[in-house]
Amino acid sequence: MRYLTAGESHGPQLTTIVEGLPAGMPLEAEEINQELSRRQKGHGRGRRMQIEKDTVQILSGVRHGYTLGSPVALVVENNDWKHWTKIMGAEPLDLGAEEEVKRVISRPRPGHADLNGALKYGHRDMRNVLERSSARETTVRVAAGAVAKKLLSLLGIKVASHVTEIGGVKSSVHSYNSIEELQEITENSPVRCLDPVAEKEMMKAIDDAKANGDSIGGIVEVIVEGMPPGVGSYVHYDRKLDAKLASAIISINAFKGVEFGIGFEAARKPGSEVHDEITWNEKDGYSRKTNRLGGLEGGMSTGMPIIVRGVMKPIPTLYKPLQSVDIESKEPFSASIERSDSCAVPAAAVVAESVIAWELASAIVNQFYSDRIDTLIEVVEKQRQYAREF
C-alpha cells in the first residue's frame, strides 16, 4: 500500500490518495471524521483549531460503503482558505510595491523548514516553504491512518496511544486493564494522559509556557495489540518493521526521537534485564514472559503488543520570539507572531497512532495475499494459527 498527500496549510484543501487497499472493506466517512476530530483536540492548541472543523470527503474507490480495490481519494477542506485567497495567489493582490515587499516572508523562523527550504528550492518568499512544511498536512495523514486502522480492526488489531510526558511532567500511570479502558480515559483527558494528577500538572505546564510566550514538547506512546507474529523481515534493511515504524514516527512534524519497549533504558541495563524470555503453552503457543523490547525482534513482530514512543520538540513558533536574520537585508530581527499552538503533543499522539497504523497495515497487506478483505482476514488468521502450532 502507499499514499501521497497534497495541499498547503492555507490552500483550499488537503488531499490524499490511498492505493492498494483490499476490495470489500467497509468504509464510512464518519469513521474517518472521528479520527480527524481527535487530532484537533488537546489543551494547548491555538486559534486555528477554532476555525477548522475537519471532515472528509471520500471521492473515489468506495461505493455503497465498501472499498473497490481502486485508489481511494480523500479530501479535507480548509475553512481558513477563504481568509487567504489573495495571499495564496487565487485572487489578485493589487498591492503597491512597498506593501508587496512586506507581503513576502523574508524572515526565517528558527526551528522551522523556512531557511533550509528556501535555499533548497530558491524561494525568496518563505511562504512557499511554510505552507507545505506546516503540520496542517497531518490532517490527511490521519485520514489515511483512519483507513489503515479500519483495516487493522477487521483483522483484530487495535491501535491506541497516550501521552506519557509534557514539559518535563511525567505520567506515573503506565498500566491499563484493556485497550478500551485506555481509550476511554485518554478520550476524556484534555492531554490524553492516563494519570489524573499528572494531567493537571501537564495542563498547568502548558498554560505557564503560554503565559511566558513559550512552548513545550513531550512524549507520546502508541500501543498495538493483536499483531500476528512474523510481520516484517530480518533479511533486508528496507523490510525491517521496526525501521519502518521509526521512520514513520520521525516523519511527523517536530518529532525528534523514537524508542521501542524500554527504549533508551536498554543502554543502562544488562542483557538479562532487557531480553524477553520465551515461553510456550499448548493453548496460546509461544509468548514472552516480559515485553521489554516492545513486540519487535529482528525487524519482525513477535505477537506481543507493539510499544512505540516518540518525542516531540517544543513548538518552534514562540510568542517570545527567537532571533533570526532577514534574508534580504541580512539584518537580525526578532519576529512577532499572530497565532500558534503552544503545545500540540496530545494532537500529535493521534498522528502517531495514524502513522503506526498505516505502516502496520501496509506491512500486512504487502506480506499476505490481499486483493480481497475476506481472503486477507483468512490468511492472517491462518498465520496466527500456524504460529500457535509451530
Ligand X SMILES: Cc1cc2nc3c(=O)[nH]c(=O)nc-3n(C[C@H](O)[C@H](O)[C@H](O)COP(=O)(O)O)c2cc1C
Annotated binding site: 39, 45, 132-134, 253-254, 298, 313-317, 339
Q: Give the total of residues touching ligand EPS (CB under 6 A).
A: 12
Positions 312 through 351 that interact with ligand X (CB under 6 A):
313, 315-317, 340-341, 344, 347-348, 351
Positions 278 through 317 that interact with ligand X (CB under 6 A):
313, 315-317
Using CB atoms, what's the residue nearest to ligand X?
Answer: 317
Map grid coordinates 529482528 to a residue. Answer: 298
Positions 327 through 356 that interact with ligand EPS (CB under 6 A):
339-341
Q: Distance between CA atoms of 233 and 228, rounded to whole angstroms?
A: 13
Q: Distance between CA atoms of 32 and 61, rounded to whole angstroms?
A: 15
**Minimum Å distance from CB 63 to ligand X?**
32
Positions 103 through 162 that interact with ligand EPS (CB under 6 A):
134-136, 139
**Minimum Å distance from CB 135 to ligand EPS?**
3
CA 100 to chain centroid, in Å, comes to 37
Q: Binding partner of residue 139 among ligand X, ligand EPS, none, CB under 5 to 8 Å per kind? A: ligand EPS
For the chain, report the end-to-end CA distance as a whole number of angstroms.
29
Q: Distance between CA atoms of 243 and 196, rounded to whole angstroms?
A: 33
Strand, coil or helix: 278: strand
Q: Which residues contact 59 (CB under 8 A, 6 or more apart)?
A: 73, 74, 75
Check residue 253 for interaction with ligand EPS (CB under 6 A).
yes
Check residue 135 for interaction with ligand X (CB under 6 A).
yes
Q: Which is nearer to ligand X, 210 or 244 (CB)?
A: 210
Among 20, 24, 46, 257, binds ligand EPS (CB under 6 A): 46
Check residue 37 for interaction with ligand EPS (CB under 6 A).
no
Q: Distance between CA atoms of 142 and 352, rounded to whole angstroms?
A: 9
Q: Which is nearer to ligand EPS, 15 or 340 (CB)?
A: 340
Among 17, 56, 58, 113, binds ligand X (CB under 6 A): 113
Rg of the chain's alpha carbons, rounded to an integer? 22
Instruction: Kindly write down the DSSP assignment for every residue of 141-185, as one continuous string.
Output: HHHHHHHHHHHHHHTT-EEEEEEEEETTEEP-----S-HHHHHHH
- Number of alpha helices (DSSP H) and beta strands (DSSP E) in the chain: 11, 17
Map grid coordinates 473515489 to a residue. Answer: 60
Residue 334: enclosing H or E segment and its boundaries?
strand 332-334
Among 3, 8, 9, 58, binds ligand EPS (CB under 6 A): 9
Check residue 382 for interaction with ligand EPS (CB under 6 A).
no
**Minimum Å distance from CB 75 to ligand EPS?**
15
* Binding residues vs ligand X (CB under 6 A): 46, 111-113, 133-135, 138, 252-254, 313, 315-317, 340-341, 344, 347-348, 351
* Binding residues vs ligand EPS (CB under 6 A): 9, 46, 48, 52, 134-136, 139, 253, 339-341
